[in-house]
Structure 1
């Protein structure tokens, strides 16, 4: 029996991962994506909110193109992630399933703000609403410096609003300690910075050659990085 199928049966039997994603309509594509995502929920949360306070990243609302790209990078070992490697193999997660689960995760919307409750809302209503909220604590830092550096060095790929572009990931709403961990991996050379190729420009749909200065993180001070991360935590309110 294929590994993925076995995992689904095991997790279903013990009630670990097939928790209802109440925020979504039961469209066939969404149900298929939710089923494929099942084994991932044990680490990344039933709504893709991540786990263990950032040890496992938030996937909900992430760009579908980035999820597809990253899963294939895990499969080819161009990006080393030993725990993810067996789950991304073609026999367990074919390209069609990758596309389906990426679309499912991209479609999950988790608010970063506490809802406005009415006095008449009961405890269950409040609990269910809070399940769909992901609060990223604000970091202290020089926001003006963080904004300047972000716009100069990061916005080209990750967007002025921090919500990503093409296959480059959304940063807003991501666990800050996870972002810091990835930054450290880039600086140490444990994770290679993705090069920018001739990506499609989202503004006008035309393909334009793009180049960026790689290794930017190695040129920044610890304070600069802290300021950028602080700025990103404030972008979620805009």
Structure 2
């Protein structure tokens, strides 16, 4: 009986060792990608987005190390944002980076994510553009500017072609409704701890107005 138990113990131990050997290459690969991405980030991104990604850089870039933001964007979204930049803003494009470098940069940014937050948003965003313009003028214009051109150190350029191309209506709705912690963008949805207290329909109207910038 004792020999049987020892045999089982040895088999279990060998099985665990085998699994660890199989898992280690992936873990090492991810770690290597994150470390390479950190080097790229410090070289090209930290001056605007800050060493910690909180938007504390000298040029006041967007806060990337933000759980709300990271919960609503895919890795492909992040690649698009980096690769194509934002025309007409201080965010240049990085088309010269290889696919491997882009993936490394995204791996580093994704490593900031500590939780996956689920947000409710309408499946279809179709509101009253005219009312959206009125609500925008009351609550959004002071930071995001006339026609969504943005204001330095205040608000993102919402009418930027790259922003509108690579950001879905639902992503804009969520950012507007729930805001982003530790940034100037507080929640707007009624019932949350925000100043604006907008209804879901009013937020939908605002998003429809923002989306209309594409046609101008």
Give the structure-2-normalised TM-score.
0.41
